[in-house]
Structure 1
Amino acid sequence: MVRSALARWFLSFSPTPITLGWPERFRSCLGALLGISVTAGVMHLFVGDTALIPLLVAPMGASAVLLFAVPASPLAQPWSIIGGNSISAVIGVACATWITNPIHAAAVAVALSIGAMFVFRCMHPPSGAVALTAVLGGPAVHALGFEFVFAPIAAQSFALLGVAIVFHASTGHRYPHATRSARDKGVGSPSASPGFTREDLQAVLGRRNELLDIDPADLESLLLEIQLQSYVRGFSGLSCADIMSSSVVSITSGTTVAIAAAVLQRHGVKALPVVDERAFVIGIVTRADIARNMKAGSFRMLAAFIDRWFAGPGRSALTVASIMTTDVSTASVTTSIAKLVPLFAAYGHRHIPVLDAQKKLAGMITQADLIRGLYRQTHA
């Protein structure tokens, strides 16, 4: 019995599987490579090789892991790295200055840093190493005094963060991670009575009384998507062709914004696929796109004036080509509706164009179409 309990205890240390695909793993490694390289290059450009300020400090390696490998983590957000590292550097330098015993100073610095990060809501694990570096970094670090807070810590934190923002934007990732729950995106449980509410989730998290490395809104979105996925699994026989609206209204990229708004109003729809002369989908324009265009004010008027200047008198009106979304998620007529769940639930899509075998526009699926299709199948 003792041997069995010991074996189970050792097995509890086994790592959990990583579900991330290899392309995404490579992307994380590439991001860290660029982040550390650019950070060191920026420091070399401004301080040189002979300066007392180190070109890189060890905690930046840990920050790079968070920023590039787990960018959705609350611990990896901009305020976390900037606030956490800066506050911990201040505390570390203060402890190194006022506490003579380095072991005592190190322990107090890390403890106070954690407390301060809780207070200022900027929890960032590498910041504990920043506090330790301020205390145990040696004479060169101690000679900097509170300058250590600004360079290297703040300077390298801002440089690494800047690379992360540019890198994630250029590779199609959402960073900083703007949390938005599935209910805010219009995605809910397929049943009339949802399995849980946001208040239920907050109550359970409060009872657990521990810090989870996931935003509650992300957790809610994940649970709702799992709930919907389990419901849809029983209807895998349904395809997009069974539930799509085939009488879809489309426009071309040369359609003016004013005409597009009129078409949306006349047909009572919220989105219009934009097609080329071969009926291939090249974009989508929504009521929200047009509303943002109207709110742009003087900046949009300036853009329209520039368009008229270069386009000439024959093409003076603003067209949907300038406001449409070109990165459009589409589905095939033969696609199972189960595969639409991530598009609607995780990515917040509300309208998905459906393509035929020739990749031409065949219809449109909305969240309402999906729910109606499931309802018909259930009550058939």
Structure 2
Amino acid sequence: MKTGVHVFHSKAVWLNTLKPNFKVLPLKDRLLCGLGALIGLALSSFISWLALGDLNAWYIAPMGASSVLLFAVPASPLAQPWNMVVGNSLAALIGVTCAMFIPNLTEAFSIAVALAIILMMTTDSLHPPSGAVAITAVLGGDAVHQLGYSFLFYPVLLNSVLLMLIAIMYNRLLGKQYPQKAQLNTRTAAPTPTQKVTIQPADIQNALEQRTELLDISEYDLQKIILEAQELANARAVNQFTCQDIMTKQVISLRAEDDIQSALDKFKQINLMSLPVVTDLDRLVGTLALYDVVEWFKRAADPKASWEEHVYQIMNPQVVTAQPQQPIQDLVPYFVERSFNYIPVVEHQRLVGIISRADMIAVLNQQLNHLRQQAE
């Protein structure tokens, strides 16, 4: 009996070595990925049918494979719009050419896929379903062969663009960034302040250059994961302060109903660049920066802007806030990477305090001194 259990365990271990080290999403996210593919394929297929209803090949099977990437792993470099459109177009062009000039079908689709891979990797447009596009161009039958190079534009390019546009809208409705932004530091091409004292992009590039295989993760995402891991490690290394420990409770703020001219007078008195905006009972509703007032003055001569008289009409209603019990370590990326001057502390939608950059510098300096004393 023990021998049987041991054999079963050994087989299970062996089978696990064949599985990818892939994160299994919660059921809700898996259902949303499947729903996205369903909506994307149904809509793009229907629109293609409306545009190419009399064409036998109005939709091609490789779009199903593309939908897996676009809706299940939109962060993958292989799923980006450039890869989707350029990869499929190159594969269609090569597939049609091979079908025209190579009589033997096996040779034609084999060469077509091989050349497609080479060209896609050369143009940084690698998209796995494009291999199936190249094969479809060769083995698609008379309906595809009669199209000739028109096959590149319809259905391939039409299907690709439609599915891509639907994927962009669907992923953004779910709050996912698609397509992926290529630069972690949005202000300059230089390393961010956090990267300067930890792992820099050049370090990641040097490490990747030592690897010969192609990784299905962008350098940008790798940087984000490493920085987030570094933040978690740093959080364990220092004592945790909460926002209520360091926040300023006497907050200078503006009222939403204040007129803009009086708001400018307050900016002059306190010499600050931005202030929170509250309504009755100190409910936080936005922030007003000095440059918002400057922009208002620029528009003052425009009759269309004459109705703007109050703070609530020109303030920014999108505010990053913190909770009193929240660790201050959570706020570091906003001050370091995004150059925030302050973050309001809110409880039950009421403004109860504010944490400035100076507050953060003071507490971090205290922690550094503490660590230095421990080292001595």
TM-score (norm 1): 0.80
2:324 aligned partner: 333
Does residue 1:96 correspond to 2:99, yes or no? yes
CA distance in 2, matches of 1:376, 1:268: 27
Among candidates 312, 316, 320, match of residue 324 of structure 1: 316
**In the alignment, which residue of structure 2 is the partner of 1:312?**
none
Q: What are the Cα deviations for residues 242-274 of structure 1, in whole angstroms up to 9, with x where unaligned?
A: 233444443344567777677667645554333
Q: Which moved more, 1:330-339 or 1:149-158?
A: 330-339
* Aligned residue type for 2:153: F
Distance change >3 Å, CA 93–CA 7, structure 1 → 2: same
Q: 1:140 to 1:343 in 2, by over 3 A?
A: farther
Q: Does 1:204 align with 2:207?
A: yes
Deviation, 1:187, is 5.4
Aligned residue among 156, 159, 173 for 1:156: 159
Among 38, 51, 56, the alignment partner of 2:55 is: 51
Q: State whether residues 307 and 318 of structure 1, in contact with CA within 8 Å, keep that contact through their aligned partners in structure 2.
A: no
2:350 corresponds in structure 1 to: 360
Q: Which residue of 2 aligns with 1:377?
A: 367
Equivalent residue, structure 2, for 1:75: 78
Q: Does the 8 A contact of 1:31 with 1:167 survive in 2? A: yes
- The structure having more radius of gyration, on CA atoms, is 2
Q: In structure 2, do the counterparts of structure 1 residues 267 and 331 end up closer, same or farther at CA, with 3 Å as the change threshold?
A: same
**What whole-Å deviation, never above 9, does each CA across 1:334-366 have from its counterpart, x for those lacking one?**
112344467678x9583532113x331122335
SS at match of 2:213: coil
Q: 1:36 to 1:352 in 2, by over 3 A?
A: farther
User: Where in structure 2 are there 5+ consecutive unaligned residues?
Assistant: 1-6, 371-376
CA 267–180 in structure 1, closer or farther in 2 if over 3 Å, else same: farther
Q: Deviations over 1:185-212 (max 9, x none)?
A: 985449xx72332221111111113322
Residues 1:321 and 1:117: Cα distance change in structure 2 (over 3 Å): farther
RMSD: 3.6
Structure 1: any 5+ residue segments left out of the alignment?
309-314
* Preserved CA contact (<8 Å) 2:239 2:367: no
Q: Deviations over 1:47-93 (max 9, x none)?
A: 22x42233x21111121122222222222222111111111111111
Which range is displaced more, 249-258 or 193-202? 249-258
Which of 174, 177, 180 matches 1:174? 177
Matched, 1:275 2:275: no
For 1:294-333, what aligned pairs fall within 5 Å after superposition?
305-308=303-306, 315-317=307-309, 321-322=313-314, 324-326=316-318, 328-333=319-324
What displacement does 1:160 show? 0.8
Question: How much does 1:301 deviate?
Answer: 8.2
State the distance in 2 between where 1:306 and 1:84 align. 47
Between Structure 1 and Structure 2, how many residues are aligned? 360
- Number of the residue aligned with 2:373: none
- CA contact under 8 A between 2:288 and 2:311: conserved in structure 1? no
Question: For the residues of structure 2 that align with 1:187 and 1:247, how far apart are their CA atoms?
Answer: 32
Change (3 A) 1:301 1:264: closer
Identity of aligned residues (%): 36
Counterpart Cα distance in 2 of 1:284 and 1:23: 35
8 Å CA contact retained: 2:243, 2:324: yes
Q: Report the CA distance shift for 1:18/1:320 in structure 2 as closer, same or farther (over 3 A).
A: same
- Partners in 1 of 2:57 and 2:166 — Cα distance? 21
- Do the aligned partners of residues 317 and 221 (structure 1) sit closer, same or farther apart at CA in structure 2, a change above 3 Å counting? same
Q: 2:47 pairs with 42, 51, 66, which one?
A: 42
Tell me the secondary structure at the aligned position of residue 208 of structure 1: coil
Alignment partners' CA distance in 2, 1:209 and 1:290: 54
Change (3 A) 1:214 1:252: farther
SS at match of 1:364: strand
C-alpha distance in 1 between matches for 2:293 and 2:78: 36
State the distance in 2 between where 1:129 and 1:363 align. Answer: 58
Distance (whole Å) between structure 2 residues aligned to residue 374 and residue 239 of structure 1: 13
- Closer/same/farther in 2, CA of residues 320 and 74 from structure 1, 3 Å limit: farther
Does the aligned pair in 1 maintain the 2:87–2:126 contact within 8 Å? yes
Q: Aligned with 2:285: secondary structure?
A: strand
The whole-number CA distance in structure 2 between the counterparts of 1:128 and 1:269 is 58
How does the TM-score come out when normalised to structure 2?
A: 0.81
